[in-house]
Chains A and B, each alone.
Chain A
Amino acid sequence: MTVAFILLALITVAAAVAAMSMPRLVHCALALVVAFAGLGCIFLALGAEFVGLAQLLVYVGAVAILIVFAILLTRGSEISMRPGARSAFSGTVIALAVFAVLAHAVMTSRVSRIATTVAPPSNRVQEIGVELLHQYVLPLEVIGLLLTAVLIGAVILAWREKPAAEQEGARTR
């Protein structure tokens, strides 16, 4: 366990806590980005180069922007934000209980005692590509299909209702 890992873990955890507890939505989103970036850096520190960079690209580049846009497009909901409006206490207690159980399980399991390999297993980008198109080609195709469906679905969901219908609504009102 290196200093880099400890630092990254601390940053990630602190950013995650900030993301879930800050009063302003945009601050939450920005802290969330730091948490995701920290997670990606932890992947890098663990030797998973491709996955870490993919995490950075997808989360910092895409998901964070999506969240930020969603926050801006649903403005007005920000004013009614009051921290602790919804059972903040019980939520935290439940989460802490879950953490206690998980931590206990991790610390007492065989996992915490096995000898860990020192060198990271080989994961060159080329190997990942070859595996993706041989052993994992079906999941790859499925996720391609899923992403296409999501693209169409998200566009349809976020589509404004037709102006004609809106005009009609205005007339009846």
Chain B
Amino acid sequence: MNPLSACLLVAAFLFCVGLAGALSRSSAILVLAGIELMLGAANLNFVAFWRYGSVAATSRVHALTGIMFVLFSIGVAAAEAAVGLALILAIYRHAKTSDVTEITELKG
């Protein structure tokens, strides 16, 4: 096993932990946290391929693509967290709960 596949395995495990959390926890905040964790795992993949992928070293133009993708991904993830948590707050104010199993009505 080389470093690259070690990174990929760690990322895969993190992704699955996030997935398990997003699927099985009932708190909306933790569902969001699980999704953030999955995004983080994807970022780890990008960094791992940037670091160990043999393509990166060959061409000057694409040397920083992995880094750039992670930077933008972090920005989008932060945006997602902000909007997601604002939504959860709005829902909580409306339904007095943030339990995803109890928010079952479409009608306000």
| Interface of A toward B, CB cutoff 8 Å | 1, 5, 9, 12-13, 16-17, 19-21, 25, 28-29, 32, 35-36, 39, 42-43, 46-48, 50-51, 54-55, 58-59, 62-63, 66-67, 69-71, 73-74, 76-77, 80-82, 84-92, 94-96, 98-99, 102-103, 106-107, 111-117, 120-123, 127-128, 131-132, 135-136, 139, 143, 146-147, 150-151, 153-155, 157-158, 160-161
Q: Could you tell me the dominant secondary structure of chain B's interface residues?
A: helix
The residue that A19 contacts in the complex, of B21, B79, B87, B97, with Cβ under 8 A, is: B21
Q: Which residues of A contact B51 (CB under 8 A)?
A: 46-48, 117, 120-121
A128 touches B82 (CB 8 A): no
Q: Chain B, interface size: which category? A: 35 or more
The residue that A63 contacts in the complex, of B36, B70, B72, with Cβ under 8 A, is: B36
B71 touches A66 (CB 8 A): no
In the complex, A76 Cα to B98 Cα: how many Å?
9
| Interface of B toward A, CB cutoff 8 Å | 1-10, 12-21, 23-27, 29-30, 32-34, 36-37, 40, 43-44, 47-48, 50-52, 54, 56-57, 61, 63-64, 67-68, 70-72, 74-79, 81-83, 85-90, 92-93, 96-102
A16 touches B18 (CB 8 A): yes
